[in-house]
Chains A and B, each alone.
Chain A
Amino acid sequence: MADISHPSAFPSAMRKLKSPALRRALSEPATVFGLVLVAIHLFLAVFGPWIATHDTSALVGDPMQIPSWDFLMGTDQIGRDYFSRIINGGRIALMVSFFGVSLALFVGTALGITAGYIGGRVDEIIMRIVDAMMSIPELILIAILTLALGKDVLALIPVIAIVYTWGAIRVIRAKTISLSMLDFVRAAELRGESRWAIIAREIFPNLTGILGVELAVRISSAVLRISALSFLGLGISQPTPDWGLMVQEAMGVVFTDPWFLLLPALMLSSLIVGVNFMVDGLSRAFGISSSELG
């Protein structure tokens, strides 16, 4: 009962993997499915412009052409290459989400550790602000912030950062509190380590797992929010390609060409599905109690 890591009938390639947790993760089809989807999306995000060579915003042909060698998926309502727009429709949102969420996690970790480890009045003040921020529905908060900071793509980064900081504070604070209860923190205090050293040496290394989970889950959630925003006309605006925006454009032609709507929807969903399946599987295998997804 104590030792339950005796692999006996794993394929030989898997046995070569050093980490039993990784081996456990890769033995689940759902996790592999998620990893593959995420890999495809990352590949497209990096190499998109080399795969689909048409300018995504240029009018390159007649509107609504059927697929051809030149335009693999035909052209859209105003004559842009649809394939290029589908391939590149996630890049901007992904980039904005990545930088925004990274910033949010940076600030959130700093404040979360402070609130959790220092505690007392600092904790009380930080957490009340968190409660207040989190009682405004995300979308409304984003809308207000875009009003304040402008709709420029670069302005979306601080917007995302501001919106996602609060949840990060909550998660990191909870984990920090449970870590600070452990005796290795007591032992460090008895050695006379400074607060800063305890945070950096003792607490932070134990947060990396949960930070990884948070990064992945919140990026996917931010991509979702940004595309919803673009769909509502509040986020990324024309002519930049964006799946949310493309769904909105397609609403007008949904009766004649529903695929214009379904394709970007499929791209967006497959990214989110991929991230969530990957994170769900990995965090279970590595024993990270994943914070509430989202």
Chain B
Amino acid sequence: MERTPHIDVRNLKLVYKTGSNSELTALDDINFTLGKGETLGIVGESGCGKSSLARAFLSYTRPGARIADGQLYVSGVDILRLDGSGLLKYRGGRAALVPQNPLSSLTPHLTIGQHLTELIRQHNANGGITSQQRALDLLAAMELPDPVAIYKRYPHQLSGGQRQRVVIAAALVAEPELIVLDEPTTALDKTVESQVLLLVARLQKETNTTLVYVSHDLNVIARMCERVLVMQNGKVVEEGETKSVFNRPQTEYTRTLIAAIPKLQHAKQPSPVRLADSAPILTVKGLDFTYGRPKNAGSLFNVFKRVSPPPTLQDISLTIQPGSTLGVVGESGSGKSTLASLVAGLVDGNEGKITFDGKPLSGLATGRQRELRRRVQMIFQDPASSLNPQHSVEQIIGRPLQIFFGMTRAASRDRIVELLEELDLPVTCLGRLPRQLSGGQQQRVAIARAFACKPDLVLCDEVTSALDVTVQAHVLGLMKRLQREHNTAYLFISHDLPVVADMSDQILVLEGGRIRDYSDTGTILNHPNSPYTRKLLEAFAIASGHIAQGNLKNVI
């Protein structure tokens, strides 16, 4: 019995159709086996084919793709040859997939109960009780509070963590022997992720299910999986026990990947200007903010009033010294982006509570002096959104030069080239449109646009969240160098505590619009004040600790 592996992948090849006669290989010659009840992590950067591989376990390819070669045996049956009712019984019955984004993965017009009962009926999985009772039991097993209420709700009425638990419940309906999780917690806050991972680990242990966990996050893989598969460009570059792969990586790519992970430690060299010596460049004092009525309120036909929303920010005070970085960390809904918008002048209503270099920084940016607009710059999260798709790189970087320095097109050329070089961008980029650049290059163009203004303060709102981890490391390195060379201060906002710790001299922890902790980075990391900060640190530390200290003890 023990001789045949539970899962046996042989020479798997998957191709995407790219034209009438052309194909692109997304998975090439994949081979590995997995025993019953084992946990396997598949890790790699975007486009490495890990999502395609995840779906292949369910004998499924995305539209336009097909399995070109190979076999995939599950309990001795080549599931790639299944069709018709055999396939329907296999999917959701013997193998199940937990998708990445729980909100978009639940049908918006069906209740949670309808989602579960339709699967229970399809797979005859009620086990002697009514479908409804079975669904309620499953919800309870997911540690969801008040299953009866959840059962009646629609997906949009649940929180992110609740939705993810529902999606996991849906995968477990027929007690499958194989569960594939495709980035199941990427869309969740770190503290919520931590809870969901614990739940998955417990369920896996209880049922001895074989588990395949796909993620870009090495920390999560280290925490969840006994074995790991590192992928790059559709190929397996390294495979083995998680512990040995992460502690003694054999290939250059794995080493780069591990090195790129931000460690939860204070690595930043102190800024050249000593913190206490100079007057702060930015001061915020007792700032409260509540989003007012939306744009269309008070319209002609809006007869019925609306309830006023809860305050977004309460009593925020902070200072940033020239050339230093203040990191703001918080989860979704903490108000951290609103803070950046207020400083930048994208939203009105700071009522003079923000001062920049001794001068009040009030109202909307359009109402501020030009010099203030030049000295405070902002870099946005998604370069695909912050760069105009119709403008060339030259136009994008050149525009602030024209506006703030009155340069002509010809004069600005040299300066643009200089900025490109500072950001490791080739001069050939000049005439390119954003869509002709990679995501990392796009974000570097956005950074160049900010630094073209010679700013004193740059607001960075989740600037690396959309990037792969190796690209992120590169961009963060560039940003540190620019800061040193130009003595620029950063207000660095992110949900990712290790990234913030890596970048910042001081850290401010926001939760629900209030400051929970505010101190220098070393203190925050080692002696956090508030329980919330400790919880946050724990959520990040559990996993990071494994890799950083080579101390792998699985939670499972």
**Chains A and B directly touch (beta carbon < 8 Å):** yes
Choice from A6, A125, A206 contacting B388 with Cβ under 8 Å = A206
| A124 partner residues in chain B, CB cutoff 8 A | 296, 299-301
Q: Is the CB of A206 within 8 A of B370?
A: no
Q: Does B282 contact A (CB under 8 A)?
A: no
Interface assignment of A152: CB less than 8 Å from any CB of chain B? no
Does B363 sit within 8 A of A, measured CB to CB?
Answer: no
Could you tell me if A191 and B399 are in contact, using CB atoms closer than 8 angstroms? Answer: yes
Q: Is the CB of B47 within 8 A of A1?
A: yes
Q: Return the contact of B345 from the options A2, A190, A202 (Cβ within 8 A).
A: A190
Query: Is A205 a contact partner of B19 (Cβ separation < 8 A)?
Result: no
B305 interface residue (CB < 8 Å to A) = no
A205 touches B16 (CB 8 A): no
Q: Say whether A114 faces chain B, with CB atoms less than 8 Å apart.
A: no
Among A10, A120, A183, A184, contact of B296 (Cβ-Cβ < 8 Å): A120
How many angstroms from the CA of A250 to the CA of B385 in the assembled complex?
A: 57
Tell me which residues across on chain B come within 8 A of A140, comparing CB atoms.
Answer: none
Mark interface residues in A155-198 (1 if CB within 8 Å of B CB, else 0).
Answer: 00000000000000000000000000011101101111100000
Interface-located stretch among B20-28, B199-207, B215-223 = B20-28
Once bound together, how far apart are the Cα atoms of A2 and B435, in whole Å? 12
Interface residue? A18 (CB, 8 A): no
Nearest A residue to B64, CB-CB: A4
Residues in B with CB closer than 8 Å to A128 are 300-301
Q: Contacts A119-B295, A124-B301: A192 and B24 contacting too (C-beta < 8 A)?
A: no
Check A147 for interface membership: any CB of B closer than 8 A: no
Which chain B residues border A202 with CB–CB below 8 Å?
388
* B551 CB–A CB distance under 8 Å: no
Using a Cβ–Cβ cut-off of 8 Å, how many residues does chain A contribute to the interface with B? Answer: 31
- Indicate whether A121 reaches chain B with its CB closer than 8 angstroms: yes
Confirm or deny: B95 has a beta carbon within 8 angstroms of a beta carbon on chain A: no
How far apart sit A276 and B81, CA to CA, in the bound complex (Å)? 42
A182 contact from B18, B368, B385, Cβ within 8 A: B385
Q: Is the CB of A125 within 8 A of B300?
A: yes
**Band of interface residues on B:** 35 or more
CA of A123 to CA of B294, assembled, Å: 14
Contacting pair A192 B20 (CB below 8 A): no
Binary flags per residue of B25-50, CB closer than 8 Å to A gives 1, else 0: 01000000000000000000011010
When distances are taken between beta carbons in the complex, the residues of chain A under 8 Å from B391 are 205
Q: Within 8 Å of chain B (Cβ to Cβ): is A13?
A: no
Contact mask B45-63 → A, CB, 8 Å, 1/0?
0110100100000000000
Cβ of B361 within 8 Å of any chain A Cβ, yes or no, is no
Given A1-B47, A10-B19: A192 touches B388 (CB 8 Å cut-off): no
Chain B residues in 8 Å Cβ range of A186: 346, 378, 380, 386
* Chain A residue at minimal CB-CB distance from B21: A9
Q: Which residues of A contact B47 (CB under 8 A)?
A: 1-2
The contact of B24 among A4, A191, A193, by CB within 8 Å, is: A4
Given contacts A8-B21, A119-B296, A192-B366, contact A183 B16 (CB under 8 A): no
Report the 10 A-B pairs with minimum CB-CB distance, sorted nearest first: A9-B21, A183-B386, A205-B390, A8-B22, A183-B380, A4-B18, A184-B388, A183-B385, A124-B299, A182-B385
A residues sitting closer than 8 Å to B (CB atoms) are 1-10, 27, 119-121, 123-125, 128, 182-184, 186-187, 189-193, 202, 205-206
Known pairs A8-B21, A27-B19. 11 more at Cβ < 8 A?
A1-B52, A4-B18, A6-B22, A8-B22, A123-B296, A128-B301, A182-B385, A184-B387, A186-B378, A189-B365, A192-B370
- Which B residues are within 8 Å of any A CB, using their own CB? 16, 18-22, 24, 26, 46-47, 49, 52, 295-296, 298-301, 344-346, 364-366, 368, 370, 373, 377-378, 380-382, 385-391, 399-400, 403-404, 449
